[in-house]
Amino acid sequence: APLVEAANAANDAAADAAPAAEKNLHFVSANAMTSLRSLELPNLHTVCIQFPDPWIKKKKRRVVSPALVSTLADLLPPGGQVYLSSDYFALALEMRAAFLGHGAFRLTRLPTVSVIPGNPTAAAQLEEAR
């Protein structure tokens, strides 16, 4: 994926410019629904799920599902974080409920909501609570 390659190149260049900086950021293009476990990410600490459902009315296509939440609960270490954001407030609440309903996650920062007339957005930060 060109965007992922460009992001990794920019990250590498920034790390090379500051030798003391750790190379602890890497972008991956993958289908989280099917590939997350097979990626073998030993240092996974933070997952960002941003605007995951472009077809808001098709619930069967939800990215944040009980299966994904369970996978992330298994893969993230204690203190690992999940950031959620959506441009549909109802979907943001649905995603947050999926994580909080699992039991392995807790809300660590109050949700941020910005309201643009006709288009509220929301974001939440959760932490693996084991």
Query: Is residue 116 helix, strand or coil?
Result: strand
53 catalytic? Reply is yes
What residues are paired with 103 via a beta bridge? none
What phi and psi values does residue 70 have, to the nearest 5 degrees? -65, -40
Question: 12, 16, 53, 87: which one is catalytic?
Answer: 53
CA distance 11 to 5: 10
Strands of the sheet with 81-86, listed across from one edge:
46-50, 81-86, 119-128, 105-116
Catalytic residue set: 53
